[in-house]
Amino acid sequence: MNVKSVWSYENRLLVILGLAFGICYFDRNAGTILVPLMERDLQLNNTQVGFLGSGLSITWALGAYLIARWSDAIGVRKPFLIAFLLIFSLCSFISGLAPNFAVLLASRMVMGAVEGPFLPVCLAIMALESSERRRGVNFGLMQNFFASVLGQSLAPLVLVALADRFGWRPAFYVAGVPGLLVLLAVVFWVREPGKAAQANVDTAGLGGTGARMGLLAMVSVRNIALCCAISLFMVAWLVLGWTFLPKFFTDYRHFSPSLMSYLMTSLGVASALSAFAVPAISDRVGRRPAMIAFCLIGALSPLAALYFDGPAIALGALMFLGWMACGTFPLFMGVIPNETISRRYAATAMGLVVCVGEVAGGFGINSVAGVLADRFALTTPVLIQAACALVGGALCVLLIETAPARVRAAAADRLAAEALRREAG
């Protein structure tokens, strides 16, 4: 294989932007992974822990829509990426300096505002530079694989080890450094997409027309409305897990920080594997059955955390299996909206699905769960997490199948049945 083709601009861009988004997720998860190690210093209660996750979620959602729309309006991408990387790296340093809950929450919310639009802007660049046959693979790698490896697998191991040795504040400082390094890579090796390429993409797509598609028209499309509802519960499922499971393991089940980090790392490995496995399975069996099965499997992680008393390795395996539900996120956030409506509006649909999930699920349900944990018990958010997976799976039953192979097969079956009816008539 030609070395030049391996390190083509498309591949180089995928690595740089994938690493950038992975570091973004690394910083996002630092705020919850380090909670058991900083809660005594800052005197955090369960309600405040819930607000750390939900506050970042709501600014993530608003930034995803408002700032990404701003980038679309002026047709500029690279300066936004540079600003995002600089701001969220500085916010990580400020989190380490935080003298109290208010400063910590403010730093996390500012971080969410610039991390939210990060993926849409990265995907906008990648869409212009990707070959058509690789666009889906590139999107999947960028959105899930790098974030899973860096943000979910390495973050618990690296941050807990650093915090145990040096304290939680230096762990935040270290978390901010990679963003500054990737910033330099973006400055020197990422180019601003040309205006001509952007114009071509704006008019391309499946069924693209010049007609405008407003918000009401978009949510009147059955699959888009369902993806928004699924996002509400599945984003809540994800945020509840990352917000409360570390504290649940150490404070309720009295596991050591190192065992907690092992269990949380197993979730990151599962998320990385599911990024390939679940979409691949959906290509063969269809989006709808894959979504139903893996959303329902998501209930296994919180239920195992609550009720399984066996060996830690077996608990990690059960947590791993349940966390394979992460593989549904590229489907309901990207693939199904893209296959449902014109590609011209697919980015808007994806932003809408993300926004609903982060605001109503990540902020709303997560905040309520924190309050209920203080009022009742730390088991409450974990039970709510299991319920979210079950509701998400039930909603998937209503989806209209969009997998191209399954749609073509169904169309062929209908044509064959119609031909038989004509012959019989």
Counting residues of the chain whose pLDDT is more than 90, the rounded percentage is 33
Give 113-162 as a DSSP string. Answer: HHHTTHHHHHHHHHHHHS-GGGHHHHHHIIIIIHIIIIIIIIHHHHHHHH
For residue 116, which amino acid is it? Answer: G
pTM of the complete model: 0.73
As a whole number of angstroms, the distance between CA 77 and CA 122 comes to: 8
pLDDT, tens digit, 9 for 90 and up, residues 293-323 = 999 999 999 999 999 999 999 999 999 999 9
Which residues contact residue 35 at a Cβ distance below 8 angstroms, ignoring those fewer than 6 apart?
A: 44, 49, 52, 246, 247
Q: In this predicted model, what pLDDT tens digit does every residue of 175-200 receive, in sequence order?
A: 889 889 999 999 999 888 765 455 44
CA–CA dist 96, 167 (Å, integer): 10
Domain 215-425 coded CATH 2.60.40.10? no
Answer positive or negative: Cα dihedral of 304, 306, 307, 310: positive
Contact 286, 335 (CB under 8 A): no
* Separation between Cα atoms, residue 364 and residue 50, nearest integer Å: 10
Closest alpha carbon to 327 in 294, 283, 368: 294
* Fold (topology level) of 8-196: Growth Hormone; Chain: A; (1.20.1250)
Tell me which residue of 381, 380, 265, 278 sits closest to 319, measured CA to CA.
265
Close Cβ partners of 8 (under 8 Å, ≥ 6 residues apart):
none
- Between the CA of residue 348 and those of 65, 68, 72, 355, what are the distances in Å? 8, 10, 11, 10
User: For residue range 23-49, what is the model confidence (pLDDT) as tens digits?
Assistant: 888 888 788 788 888 888 888 888 888
Burial class of 309 by CB neighbour count within 10 A (0 to 12, 13 to 18, 19+): exposed
Do 8-196 and 215-425 share a fold? yes
263 in Cβ contact with 316 (< 8 Å): yes
Give percent helix, percent strand, percent coil of the chain, each to the nearest 5.
Answer: 85, 0, 15
From the list 301, 275, 42, 269, the residue with the least C-alpha distance to 157 is 269
Position 166, amino acid: F
Q: Which residues contact 278 (CB under 8 A, 6 or more apart)?
A: 290, 294, 324, 326, 327, 328, 330, 331
Residue 64's nearest CA partner among 366, 275, 350, 330 is 350
Distance separating alpha carbons of residues 164 and 153, to the nearest angstrom: 18
Reported as a single tens digit per residue, the pLDDT across 125-175 is 876 776 655 655 676 677 778 887 787 678 878 888 888 888 899 989 988
- Hunting for tokens 């519960």 — which residue is that? 233
Q: Where are the domains of the chain?
A: 8-196, 215-425
Residue 35 burial (C-beta neighbours within 10 Å; 0-12, 13-18, 19+): buried
For 159-163, 227-231, 289-293, 417-421, which range has the lowest pLDDT when averaged over its residues?
A: 417-421
Identify the pLDDT of residue 206.
37
Report the pLDDT value the prediction gives residue 380, as an integer from 0 to 100: 95
Q: Which residues contact 302 (CB under 8 A, 6 or more apart)?
A: 240, 241, 245, 322, 382, 383, 385, 386, 389
Residues 338-395 have pLDDT tens digits of: 778 776 666 677 778 888 888 888 888 988 998 899 899 899 999 999 999 999 999 9
